[in-house]
C-alpha cells in the first residue's frame, strides 16, 4: 500500500508526487530530466507507462492514451494523476471517503492465483501474504510474522483471519486482492486468574 504525500487536486483529479508511486511494490520509477518524462515499469508484468510533464498524452506499452489531467511540477516535485497510473498498470486504486485516503495496492498475479487455489493450506498461506491495508491508527508495530505472531482462520475458510502478535489481535477480511484490517484490539494472553 502506498500512502500519498501532499496530494493536489486539479479538475477533481488527485495528483501525487512521483515518489509516492515508487512506493507501490513492483513498480520502478525513472525520471528523464531532459525530456521531462516519467517512466514507470511494472517488474511483475513488464508493462511500461511513460508520462511527460504538461502533456495530455501518455504511452502504455507504446500505445498512446489520453491522461485526462497533465502531469505537472509544483515546488520542485513532479505530480502525476494517481488513479491513471494505477489503472494503466492494473493496480487497485480506491478512494476511502471516511478516512479521506487514496489507497492503492498491487498483489502479484501469482499470489492471487495461489489465493484462488482449492487447496485450503495454499489459499491461507497466500491470504496472509496479500497486501494488508489498515485505515485506522494501529495499536501495534507493523512487524508481521517471522519471529512471532499467530494466524487463526475460520474452519475451512481462507477469506478472513485473526492475526495475534505481541498482545495485539487484528481481524482482516480478504476483499478484492487485499487483506483489509477491520478492527484490532489489545488482548491479555495470560492464563493467570485472579
Sorted by where each starts, the structural domains of the chain and their CATH numbers stand as: 8-91 (3.30.457.10), 109-186 (no CATH)
Structure confidence by residue, pLDDT tens digits, 10-65: 888 888 888 888 777 778 899 999 999 999 998 878 889 999 999 999 999 989 99
Structure confidence by residue, pLDDT tens digits, 112-166: 999 999 999 999 999 999 988 887 766 655 554 455 789 999 999 999 999 998 8
Q: What is the pTM of this model?
A: 0.66
Q: What is the DSSP letter of 107?
A: -
- Residues written for the chain: 194
The neighbour count for residue 60, using CB atoms within 10 Å, is: 18
Amino acid at each position: 500500500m502506498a500512502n500519498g504525500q501532499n496530494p493536489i487536486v486539479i479538475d477533481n483529479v488527485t495528483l501525487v508526487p512521483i515518489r509516492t508511486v515508487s512506493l507501490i511494490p513492483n513498480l520502478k520509477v525513472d525520471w528523464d530530466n531532459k525530456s521531462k518524462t516519467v517512466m514507470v515499469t511494472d517488474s511483475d508484468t513488464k508493462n511500461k507507462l511513460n508520462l511527460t510533464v504538461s502533456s495530455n498524452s501518455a504511452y502504455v506499452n507504446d500505445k498512446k492514451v489520453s491522461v485526462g489531467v497533465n502531469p505537472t511540477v509544483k515546488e520542485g516535485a513532479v505530480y502525476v494523476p494517481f488513479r491513471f497510473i494505477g489503472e494503466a498498470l492494473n493496480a487497485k486504486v480506491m478512494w476511502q471517503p471516511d478516512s479521506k485516503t487514496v489507497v492503492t495496492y498491487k498483489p502479484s498475479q501469482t499470489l492471487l492465483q495461489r489465493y484462488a487455489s482449492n487447496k485450503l493450506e495454499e489459499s491461507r498461506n497466500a491470504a496472509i501474504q496479500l497486501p494488508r491495508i489498515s485505515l485506522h491508527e494501529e495499536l501495534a508495530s507493523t512487524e508481521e510474522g517471522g519471529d512471532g505472531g499467530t494466524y487463526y482462520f475460520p474452519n475451512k475458510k481462507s477469506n478472513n483471519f485473526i492475526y495475534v502478535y505481541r498482545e495485539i489481535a487484528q481481524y482482516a477480511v480478504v476483499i478484492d486482492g487485499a487483506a483489509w484490517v477491520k478492527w484490532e484490539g489489545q488482548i491479555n494472553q495470560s492464563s493467570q486468574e485472579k
